[in-house]
Amino acid sequence: MFLLAALMFAVTGFVSPEFHSSFAQSASGPVKILTLERAFPLDEPVELSELRARDRVRHARILLGGGNGGRQNSVGGVVDFPVQGSSDPYLVGLYFTKVKLGSPPTEFNVQIDTGSDILWVTCSSCSNCPHTSGLGIDLHFFDAPGSLTAGSVTCSDPICSSVFQTTAAQCSENNQCGYSFRYGDGSGTAGYYMTDTFYFDAILGESLVANSSAPIVFGCSTFQSGDLTKSDKAVDGIFGFGKGKLSVVSQLSSRGITPPVFSHCLKGDGSGGGVFVLGEILVPGIVYSPLVPSQPHYNLNLLSIDVNGQMLPIDAAAFETSNTRGTIVDTGTTLTYLVKEAYDPFLNAITNRVSQLVTPIISNGEQCYLVSTSISDMFPSVSLNFAGGASMMLRPQDYLFHYGFYDGASMWCIGFMKAPEEQTILGDLVLKDKVFVYDIARQRIGWANYDCSMSVNVSVTSGKDLVNSGQTCLNISTMDMLLKLFSSILLALLVCISLT
């Protein structure tokens, strides 16, 4: 048995963004694998106006969001979400993954959302929900009466009495705990909470566990409105990774199934991709800034902004955190949004720095520049400076995006927008090409520059690096073959043990 375990670790001790199916060894919890897919095809352009509109909807959701994150002490296995997608505004899309719920299990495509807390999927009893999707995916409905393991959350359940800013707990006539979500664009969903089995493949300690599962609480949507009813971008629900007690992160980590930390590394090149991990990605040179306490989202204290080493004249009060202000790290937003007090000095500093080298131009109301050579040779570096002495260094491609060509020149536009509200929101444009670690246990976020096309090292226990992916990765077909082989060997060993 120990020989088998050693062999398994030798071939599986890594997590790779290239994998659609992979696994790793953990001494204290299983490793579960889900695959993220891109909502919009990479060859399907998106207009900037549509991008801003989607971000505005996203920000309304964030402003209404809530939750109550607390320190967790349990440490478990790792969940690896290989990512597809791009930060390019022309090719931007939402990210979704596949989950399996119920008995027999049904597969659902759900958006990954770090700005909300609840996993919800569409119920079979929903009368106005989309039945087709323009994303090229099949939509599915959760059949609560048809699941052998489904359970209701009653009105007397402590979950129902919990107060969430994003939901309104309510009781139905049949004693089911209901919820409703209302987003700032007028769209929304309503339904009721349920418990059922969530499925995953896992390795637990020295034993290979196939088709593992854990019960979770999630929402069953019976009503949708606004953009959620449109078929062009329809998916089966939303997968919340926020700080609230009902988020998947909190539910799994509180039972030791996953550690109280998650990470991501988003590729910034044209093909996009990357990896999203419920666990800690280990990279050299990572710097940390403390999370602002008592906030429902992943808020950081942004202190100042430097352009080409010079601090911008921004009143520090512009970045202070309150109920309506502050700086949020959000993978669901594509661009970056600065409050007016910071946006104007930033834009002026960039334009003044390059005005003699490029041709400034306004395109669709946005500040752009006609560039004849590489932007790296002309545009300055930018530093976002946070509490704890942690700075985020930005290259020109981290605050500019390519917006086509004009009069034979390459046109690059500022990817920092003026925030329509009072919150600064850091989106994928600045988050790409970096490892980000959301350390919920220690209430901090860390980051480091990284080539996200490479494999990553992941720690599955505190202070102990059990997963080393800095080696040649097995391909998917080889991985599947080894899984089947190990399953057969382990089953035979267990039968022998039981017979003796």
Bridge-partner residues for 297, per DSSP?
none
Using the structure block, give the residue that is written with the tokens 């997608």. Answer: 85
- Whole-angstrom Cα distance, residue 389 to residue 290? 10
Question: Mutual orientation of helices 2-12 and 476-499 as an angle, nearest 10°?
Answer: 170
Q: How many whole angstroms from its chain centre is CA 91?
A: 18
Q: Are 282 and 458 in contact (CB under 8 A)?
A: yes
Using the structure block, give the residue that is written with the tokens 């512009």. Answer: 318
Tally Cβ neighbours within 10 Å of residue 26. Answer: 24
Tally Cβ neighbours within 10 Å of residue 387. Answer: 15
Q: Are 497 and 487 in contact (CB under 8 A)?
A: no
SS3 content of the chain, % helix, strand, coil (to 5): 20, 35, 45
Output the CA angle 147-152-155, nearest 5 degrees: 170
- Within 8 A by CB and 6+ apart from 243, the residues are 67, 68, 69, 117, 249, 250, 296, 297, 298, 440
Catalytic residue among 88, 196, 201, 330: 330
- Within 8 A by CB and 6+ apart from 345, the residues are 305, 312, 313, 314
Catalytic residue among 113, 398, 428, 433: 113
Our answer to whether residue 88 is catalytic in this structure is: no
Q: Which residues of 250-265 are buried (b: 16+ CB within 10 A; e: fewer)?
A: bbbbbebbbbbbbbbb
**CA-wise closest residue to 228 among 57, 343, 90:** 57
Our answer to whether residue 113 is catalytic in this structure is: yes
Q: Are 433 and 337 in contact (CB under 8 A)?
A: no
Output the CA angle 214-219-225, nearest 5 degrees: 150
- Whole-angstrom Cα distance, residue 450 to residue 14? 17
Q: Which residues are catalytic?
A: 113, 330
